[in-house]
Amino acid sequence: MPQFMDVHTGMTGLTAQQLKEAHEHDKAIEGQVGVHFIKAWADPVTGKVFCLSEGPNKQAVLDVHRRAGHPTDEIYEVPLSVD
């Protein structure tokens, strides 16, 4: 299944608890559209949040974020990775 990295902006001052809650909102909806959110990272100073997910397409990932209350337009398919 394709993987995607999306970027949220404007979340300056975000706490670890708020990041966890946002991630849980995504996870509560993800199964409805066949998406799985793997991990989220945040930089409270710049207000950027990064989410790694897998799903059928970009639109499905964007739909989950929109429905969870934190939409974004910046999303990238990640076809290559290494461990």
Q: Domain extents for the chain?
A: 3-77
Does 83 have pLDDT greater than 90?
A: no
Between the alpha carbon of residue 61 and those of residues 42, 44, 72, 76, the distances in Å are: 18, 23, 10, 11
Q: What is the pLDDT of residue 40?
A: 97
CATH assignment of 3-77, among 1.10.10.410, 2.130.10.10, 3.30.70.3090, 1.10.1060.10? 3.30.70.3090
pLDDT tens per residue, range 31-49: 999 999 999 999 999 999 9
Q: What is the pLDDT of residue 56?
A: 97
Q: What is the pLDDT of residue 30?
A: 96
First and final C-alpha spacing in the chain: 18
pTM, whole model, 2 decimals? 0.92
pLDDT tens per residue, range 46-73: 999 999 999 999 999 999 999 999 999 8
Return the biggest CA–CA distance within the chain. 33
